[in-house]
Amino acid sequence: MNDQRICAVINIGILATPKGLKAKAGTQQGEILSLKNAYLLIEDGFIKELGTGTPDLTGIKADQILDAGGRLVTPGLVDAHTHLVFGGWRAHELQQKLAGVPYLDILAAGGGILNTVGQTRKATENELFNKAAKALDGMIALGTTTVEAKSGYGLDLENELKQLRVAKQLDERHLVDVVSTLMVAHAVPSEYKHNRNAFLDLILNTIIPAVAQENLAAFCDVFCETGVFDVAESKAILLCAQAHGMRSKIHADEIDAIGGSELAGELKAISAEHLIALQDSGIASLKTGGTIACLLPATSFYLGKPYARAQNLIAAGVPVAIASDFNPGSCPSYSLQFCMNLAAYNYRMSSEQVLTSVTLNAAAAIDKAKIIGSLEAGKLADLVIWDAETLDFLFYRFGSNLVKSVVKRGILV
């Protein structure tokens, strides 16, 4: 990285961006601003002005001007759902998965998430930091400028704090911004296998208060799923976290529809994740609760599951965000470009709807829509210059990295 500070981006062929400070739903999800022959002026890492034609560049040094060469420019991509910090990988589960062993069966047998818990507990803070920083390097090269990171591979006080402290360090030391979510309710660790109530006590009375005390997470997420946490347990955990200042997210209907999306709406969760098995009652509840549907198409791809009902959600007026779900078990890829392609072809979303889902709506899903997610005066200068002349080209030329360059907080990466 050469850390060059940029004050103007000129000669933009098309500047494509959603507009506004909150998530877009319904027909608005597909309405974006498309400026031809555009420019952007940047001051102290924030967008000062955008317009068309040639800007007044008086006082700006030549090496602070970036010529986009007639290319497409969009906001930096926002990955609103990842399990970024973890030890090891789970490539050894690939053949089992391909042979048809279900994800939840691998977990029930003590593998899956619990395998990663073992590897994460063993790893030092330094090892976890270096591994996740490398992932962030890879993500920014693919156009991602802000990432949400969940804990949930510690499952005890010491190791949940360790994971969250690593995420905080990454936010402070890496160019990519990192927003943290406490997800201690990710699985019941083996030492509590026969005493899950004691684990729930630990979460409610020790871990949530400790994380709040250190201000280590903005959100709390729960894996509300068959054999993991049921609706009543999820509700108790999320309400406790809300009382400690953490807004709710829920892994809902990833595999079975057990009431997670209905709970998301009831608790006015900021987002509900996955929604592969979503029922009509879930859609209605998300709409009532003002909850954003955070869809994870690369997980459907990797687990061989159906694709979530994106069109029904959009038609019902629920804002749709799309994220990678990067994690070692159900989505070992962090490419949002791949997710965008899957969304176009499998959710049948338009290029404009997908752009909104990985920028403004994703920013809203992590409560950052006031400062990122669109190219507008006053927001951070987080943007991607693409090796493409039109938005459709990003979806048409799938399979390679189409990023030409990335600017993060006004710095050319």
Nearest Cα neighbor of 164 from 212, 201, 116 is 212
Residues 6 or more apart in contact with residue 200 via CB below 8 angstroms: 233, 236, 237
Query: What are 182's two structure tokens?
Result: 């406490």
Complex with ligand IZC: residue 221 or 382, whichever CB lies closer = 221
Residues in the chain: 413
Q: Does 223 bind ligand IZC (CB under 6 A)?
A: yes
Complex with ligand IZC: residue 331 or 369, whichever CB lies closer = 331
Tell me how far CA of residue 355 lies from CA of 117, 130, 335, 399, in angstroms: 34, 30, 14, 17
Stretch near ligand IZC under the rule CB under 6 A, chosen from 133-141, 162-170, 328-336, 348-356: 328-336
Q: Which of residues 55-84 bind ligand IZC (CB under 6 A)?
A: 83
SS3 366: coil
Q: Does 330 bind ligand IZC (CB under 6 A)?
A: yes
Stretch near ligand IZC under the rule CB under 6 A, chosen from 8-16, 158-166, 327-335, 341-349: 327-335
Number of Cβ within 10 Å of residue 399's Cβ equals 8
Among 81, 165, 235, 251, binds ligand IZC (CB under 6 A): 251
Tell me how far CA of residue 53 lies from CA of 13, 36, 64, in angstroms: 10, 9, 18
Q: Does 189 bind ligand IZC (CB under 6 A)?
A: no
CB 164 within 8 A of CB 155: no
Stretch near ligand IZC under the rule CB under 6 A, chosen from 109-117, 140-148, 235-243, 306-314: 109-117
Complex with ligand IZC: residue 74 or 116, whichever CB lies closer = 116
Which residue lies nearest Zn ion, judged by its C-beta?
A: 325
The one of Zn ion, ligand IZC, none whose footprint includes residue 87, by CB under 5 to 8 A per kind, is none
Among 7, 66, 113, 354, binds ligand IZC (CB under 6 A): 113
Report in angstroms how near the CB of residue 68 gets to ligand IZC at its nearest. Answer: 37
Complex with ligand IZC: residue 112 or 143, whichever CB lies closer = 112
CA–CA separation, 197 vs 260, rounded Å? 20
Among 328, 334, 339, 388, binds ligand IZC (CB under 6 A): 328
Strand 411-412 relative to strand 4-5, pairing: antiparallel
Question: 326-329 — which CB contacts under 8 Å span 24+ positions?
Answer: 326/79, 326/82, 326/83, 326/84, 326/135, 326/139, 327/82, 327/83, 327/86, 327/116, 328/83, 328/86, 328/88, 328/89, 328/90, 328/116, 329/90, 329/93, 329/103, 329/112, 329/113, 329/116
The one of ligand IZC, Zn ion, none whose footprint includes residue 330, by CB under 5 to 8 A per kind, is ligand IZC
Residues in contact with ligand IZC, shown as a per-residue x/- string from 270 to 309 under the rule CB under 6 A: ----------------------------------------
SS3 336: helix
Query: What are 71's two structure tokens?
Result: 């290319």
Report in angstroms how near the CB of residue 328 gets to ligand IZC at its nearest. Answer: 6
The one of Zn ion, ligand IZC, none whose footprint includes residue 297, by CB under 5 to 8 A per kind, is none
Where on the chain is the footprint of ligand IZC (CB under 6 A)?
83, 112-113, 116, 223, 251, 254, 327-330
